[in-house]
Structure 1
Amino acid sequence: MFDAKSTTDDVLAGIDLAGKRILVTGVSSGLGVETARALAAHGAQVVGAARDLDKARAATAGIAGLELIELDLASLASVRAAADALIAKAAPFDAIIANAGVMAGTFGRTEDGFETQFGTNHLGHFTLVNRIAPLIRTGGRVVMVASGGHRFADVDLDDPGFEKTPYEPFIAYGRSKTATILFAVEFDRRHKGQGVRATAIHPGGIATDLGRHMTPESVQKLMETFEADRRAGAPDIEYKSVPQGAATSVWAAVVAPADAVGGRYCEDCAVAQIDEADWITGGGVRAYALDPENAKALWALSERMVGETF
């Protein structure tokens, strides 16, 4: 029914979300704001999480009934505090959309010493979602916002922090987004027996502030990658508007059949197929990002890194 050009309003047309409660992370800009807006416009009670609450309040001022909570995914103390507050409130969720993230900045570490992209994009959400999993209603879903950038790299279970290998911004981004997909695979396996499903999605190429930490050198290298892909036969990138970019998140969370998307990777409001073409810019998903054994191994590593067993 839908495709790359479908918007949030297209996929939610005729959908009544009254009585649904949905958590969206990263509601201070871009896709997070649009995701929260669209869901609330159709009657959902939306809880928005953001690191900078002042920025989030300004960005979401027009969204009626939105509840905001503070969440810094680069700090496990902040993640645990947010999870504890949600658990204490004991209000269940019908969906969690893990939208927040960072992309391709210079090398850095989170408050807990993790490489910034892996720590923020993967370990922060890994800890948050697992801690609040008891709040997800039967029939609920977890939607992990990943990226076609997972095609840059598989996870490196032996060197997640670039302690043995030279740091490359987009390799780090690729690792973190592959981890995001693998988390959905393993979370789905562990929870589908209780009626809770998880999926990962690629929103598409959108002009947001996700790349705000990129250096001019990183931008140049990315453009060179895109040009090399084009010469090799990759399809041209078709950029999306923000409402088009957020469409797959809301589609996967409240519209698509649960059995169709559970444990899968979706793009353009559809389940993506495995694609091993050499280029980065093509669609589809690398097989390593859906490998169940890879997912189990990453889960075990992630538990060791955050010091919790789920």
Structure 2
Amino acid sequence: MTLFNAKSTTDDVLAGVDLSGKRILVTGVSAGLGVETARALAARGADVVGAARDLAKARRATDAVRAAADASGGSFDLIALDLASLASVRAAADALHADGRMFDIVIANAGVMATPQGRTADGFETQFGTNHLGHFTFINRIASLINAGGRLVNLASAGHRFADVDLGDPNFDAAPYDPWIAYGRSKTANILFAVEFDRRHRDRGVRAVAVHPGGIATELGRHLSDEDMEALVAQLNATAAATGAPAFEYKSIPQGAATSVWAAAVADAEAVGGRYCEDCRVGAIVEGDGIRDGVRSYALDVARAQALWTKSEELVGERF
């Protein structure tokens, strides 16, 4: 079996893979990783459905996806999905049910990072509401449309190391708001959601996995100043120096999307189900401070995952 690494690209990972006849949903296809993920999958013959909040922007950003689909015999369609609005989330899920076609893979790629303090349309803290609760509601509503043997890939981050979820104060009603703590909570939630979704659906062959794409310069960093990014990279390098790891390097967008498509279409389901992956491999449990390789144990805690699921159902007002 070919071993991939941090420098592998989407085309490296999918070399020789035929996805003809596979139907794949990717959220966040208006920029960056989402566009590249959709392109790489469409280029292998998949029928890709891209979800985006701003459809006009998504159409402009996805010319290469349509070209790849046309060349391979696949297809590409867009649907509207604003993860910061449960009304939009429910409408998108209803539309997919009305269409009735099944999916083999769902990649929950969309997200925001280190935003100023704010609230979603439903009053949730922006990052937890968008990154976790929006996807939690959307994916659970379309779970019956995922074929047996299918797969869910949740985009998480090494940023989960900033913070565990806070089930007692998810919206920072009591604690002072910190954009990185909020981001960390939301990314931990993305991993825990994959853990519990995997537990609930693996008996029918549907597996879920969380992935860290790596550090990539994309629109995700739109809320950060140059000084913010320099401080973050300095922190990454300090951690690397303390642990004997190499200095931080940005990945290209095709390298960043590689772990998503690897986990979705290449990796063994049993090996990655309920796990956290990075650099096209399963990440080890690594404790300690700082943003670094590996996953904190709290993000894979089964009881924590079940508690988050229950709290999330309470917050969105639905049982799944």
TM-score range, shorter chain: over 0.9
1:185 aligned residue (195, 199, 202): 195
Counterpart residue number, 2:52: 50
Structure 1 residue 51 displacement after superposition: 0.4
Q: 1:274: which partner in 2?
A: 285
Question: 1:105·1:215 contact (CA, 8 Å) conserved in 2?
Answer: no
* Partner in structure 2 of residue 63 of structure 1: 65
1:226 corresponds to: 236
Of 100, 103, 110, 1:90 maps to 100
SS at match of 1:182: helix
Q: 1:170 aligned to 164, 180, 184, which one?
A: 180
TM-score of the superposed pair, with normalisation by structure 1: 0.97
Residue number among 280, 291, 294 corresponding to 2:304 in the alignment: 294
Tell me, which stretches of 5 or more residues in structure 2 are unaligned? 67-74
Could you tell me which of 288, 291, 295 is aligned with 1:285?
A: 295
Q: Contact 2:240–2:248 (CA<8 Å) still a contact in 1?
A: no
Q: Aligned residue for 2:9?
A: 7
Q: What is the Cα deviation at residue 229 of structure 1?
A: 2.3
1:37 aligns with 2:39: yes
- Which range moved further: 59-68 or 257-266? 59-68
Q: Deviation per CA, 1:49-85, whole angstroms, max 9, x where unpaired?
A: 0000011001102323310000000000000000000
In the TM superposition, residue 267 of structure 1 has moved relative to its aligned partner by 0.4
Question: What's the % identity of the aligned pairs?
Answer: 70
Q: In 2, are the aligned partners of 1:104 and 1:218 still within 8 Å (CA)? A: no
Look up the match of 1:142. Answer: 152
**C-alpha deviation, 1:228, in angstroms:** 3.9
Counting only pairs closer than 5 Å after superposition, residues 204-219 of structure 1 correspond to structure 2 as 204-215=214-225, 218-219=228-229
From 161, 185, 196, the equivalent of 1:151 is 161
* CA-based RMSD: 1.3
Q: What whole-Å deviation, never above 9, does each CA across 1:233-290 have from its counterpart, x for those lacking one? A: 363212111001000000100110100000000001100100002221x100000000
Amino acid at match of 2:207: R
Shift of 1:166: 0.8
Gaps of 5+ in 1: none
Residue by residue over 1:172-217, the C-alpha shift from the partner in whole angstroms, topping out at 9 and shown as x without a partner, is 0000000000000000000000110000000001111101123567
The TM-score with structure 2 as length reference comes to 0.94
Matched, 1:239 2:233: no
C-alpha distance in structure 2 between counterparts of 1:163 and 1:272, whole Å? 33
Does the CA contact (< 8 Å) of 2:20 and 2:47 recur in 1? yes
